[in-house]
Structure 1
Amino acid sequence: MRALAIAATGMSAQQTNVEVIANNIANINTTGFKRSRAEFADLLYQAERPQGVPNRDGGEPVPEGAMVGLGVRTVGIRNLHIQGTLTQTGNSLDLAVNGRGMFQITTPNGDTVYTRAGSFNRSSTGQLVTSDGYTVNPAITFPQNATAIVVNESGQVYAQVPNQTNPTLLGQLVLTNFSNESGLEPLGDNLYRETLASGQPVNGVAGDVGFGKIQQNYLEGSNVDPVKEITELISAQRAYEMNSKVIQAADEMASTVSKGIR
């Protein structure tokens, strides 16, 4: 009975949907996290009676056929790169991008990855690094005796050094855009990697056309909306239950037929 297999695909799809929602809710307080959305498409259709074909010679084409769908499948899990809420922290090394753009990060093996989580720190050698110790690119090194650090909206990094009246310019942070941010590969640890689907990285300066501004002493929060996630969770749960009811009904129908045969 096809209904069993069709409903099984529906239950599998809704299970994936719930897993995506669960990951969103689990990361509701993760800095720079971008919520995901499961997307589905219907499967092939089996033609019981094709449309547009005459029922007999010389007749008019059949206006409507009989096409039976064979279920649903997951076609993608889209990361929604929508701006999260900015929260003031008071930490001079906390940086948030207000608008488009991602920070460049260099991993220990030399790969370039990208992040929206600007909770940076100073390493033992004075370099600007992520919470995992990965170097922010371009590299910024702070003087050991720096008394204050200032990052302006365009990403220029200054340090106030004793016995100097004016702050010292240490470097310029660079932001990166992609034509298809949803095509980036999430790596965990708030990091993303370029793929063929994302397109080539486009580097620029914060505040330029197409790039957001950098806000010092702020962090970008997760863009997860708890009310929306709970609503979608309830909807997914109900859809799962309905597919389960279909399987139960198909099983009872099959049982009735088998009893009639006996």
Structure 2
Amino acid sequence: MIRALWTAATGMETQQTNMDVIANNLANVNSAGFKKSRADFQDILYQTVKIAGSSSSPGVEIPTGVQVGLGSRVAAVQKIFTTGDMQQTGNDLDVAVEGSGFFQISMPSGETAYTRAGAFKKDGTGRLVTSDGYPLYPEIVIPENATQVSIGQYGTVEVFLDGEATPTEVGTIELTRFSNPAGLEALGHNLFGETPTTGAPAIGTPGDNGFGILAQGFLEGSNVNIMEEMVNMIAGQRAYEINSKAIKTADDMLQMTNNLM
């Protein structure tokens, strides 16, 4: 009976982690470029009471054994990199990726981070930066006397300078993709970091070799589906509840055993 108490407790702990993941998804439903997470579960150790194939008598084998499971655990919390809805903003510095690819961001540590959130701003020197001030890589600087910024679907950034009728090219936005984007490490601030499981980053220009194209004046919204998360929340709550009832039932059975005396 003690085994049932601990087994059901692992189920409650698993569902608690599941609810944490769902709550984070819902909290970021309006975060640009956010990618939802999913908790994957698996059973854990089994206590083998009788081995399948063992002999019950000379020449007779037991067709099935006796194994008692000891609960469940969270095997992984996976990022789901489906594309979010495109939201038109009309802001010249808002850029969305239609298809595959991440923007490259230079971090203060010298490392490169990656993001799908294209809500760029200009810093004091005219560089395109994230909301936290981290610059886009390769660096693109908008001149101070620029009156309009044009970002083409293939990544070319042009500006119209004050008093000039023809545009001036100031750089090209590059994209990166990975063979296993689910292996990216979430760094917060809408950023992801490379890990050994992502594979080497492939760098290219928008529209080439399978990379997505850019849409100026748009932002990619979160890919969180509120209805789906609400259903998952209800299912997780019921699973947590039924595991708590299993603990209560095991406790009642122990109490009955004690009362036999």
Range of TM-score over shorter length: over 0.9
1:64 positional shift: 1.2
CA distance, structure 1, for counterparts of residue 122 and residue 62 of structure 2: 73
CA distance, structure 2, for counterparts of residue 185 and residue 4 of structure 1: 35
CA distance, structure 1, for counterparts of residue 147 and residue 41 of structure 2: 54
Q: Structure 1 length as normaliser, TM-score?
A: 0.97
Tell me the alpha carbon deviations over residues 60-89 of structure 1, each in whole angstroms, 9 at most, x when there is no partner. Answer: x21111111110011110000110000000
Corresponding residue for residue 246 of structure 1:
246
CA distance, structure 2, for counterparts of residue 70 and residue 108 of structure 1: 46
CA distance, structure 2, for counterparts of residue 242 and residue 224 of structure 1: 27
1:109 positional shift: 2.3
Secondary structure of 2:170's counterpart equals: strand
Secondary structure of 1:55's counterpart equals: strand
CA distance, structure 1, for counterparts of residue 87 and residue 78 of structure 2: 25
2:26 aligned with 1:19, yes or no?
Answer: no
Secondary structure of 1:48's counterpart equals: strand
Structure 2 counterpart of 1:26, one-letter code: A
1:219 positional shift: 0.3
Secondary structure of 1:198's counterpart equals: coil
Structure 2 counterpart of 1:111, one-letter code: E
Structure 1 residue runs of 4 or more that deviate by more than 3 Å after TM superposition:
none
Count of residue correspondences: 260
Corresponding residue for residue 29 of structure 1:
30
CA distance, structure 2, for counterparts of residue 163 and residue 227 of structure 1: 52
Corresponding residue for residue 55 of structure 1:
56
1:239 positional shift: 0.2
1:216 positional shift: 0.3
CA distance, structure 2, for counterparts of residue 127 and residue 161 of structure 1: 16
Alignment of structure 1 residues 87-236 onto 2, 5 Å: 87-236=87-236
Tell me the alpha carbon deviations over residues 229-252 of structure 1, each in whole angstroms, 9 at most, x when there is no partner. Answer: 000000000000000000000000
Q: CA RMSD in A?
A: 0.8
CA distance, structure 2, for counterparts of residue 130 and residue 43 of structure 1: 43
CA distance, structure 2, for counterparts of residue 247 and residue 109 of structure 1: 49
What percentage of residue pairs aligned between the two structures are identical? 48
Secondary structure of 1:249's counterpart equals: helix
Tell me the alpha carbon deviations over residues 25-79 of structure 1, each in whole angstroms, 9 at most, x when there is no partner. Answer: 00000010000000111011111211112212222x2111111111001111000
CA distance, structure 1, for counterparts of residue 159 and residue 109 of structure 2: 29
Structure 2 counterpart of 1:193, one-letter code: G
Structure 2 counterpart of 1:17, one-letter code: N
Corresponding residue for residue 78 of structure 2:
78
CA distance, structure 1, for counterparts of residue 117 and residue 123 of structure 2: 17
Q: Which runs of 5+ in 2 are unaligned?
A: none
Structure 2 counterpart of 1:88, one-letter code: Q
Secondary structure of 1:78's counterpart equals: strand
1:165 positional shift: 2.7
CA distance, structure 1, for counterparts of residue 10 and residue 142 of structure 2: 56
Tell me the alpha carbon deviations over residues 100-130 of structure 1, each in whole angstroms, 9 at most, x when there is no partner. Answer: 1000000122111000000000111111111
CA distance, structure 2, for counterparts of residue 26 and residue 209 of structure 1: 35
1:164 positional shift: 2.5
Higher mean C-alpha deviation, range 29-38 or range 43-52: 43-52
Q: Which runs of 5+ in 1 are unaligned?
A: none
Secondary structure of 2:7's counterpart equals: helix
CA distance, structure 1, for counterparts of residue 250 and residue 228 of structure 2: 33
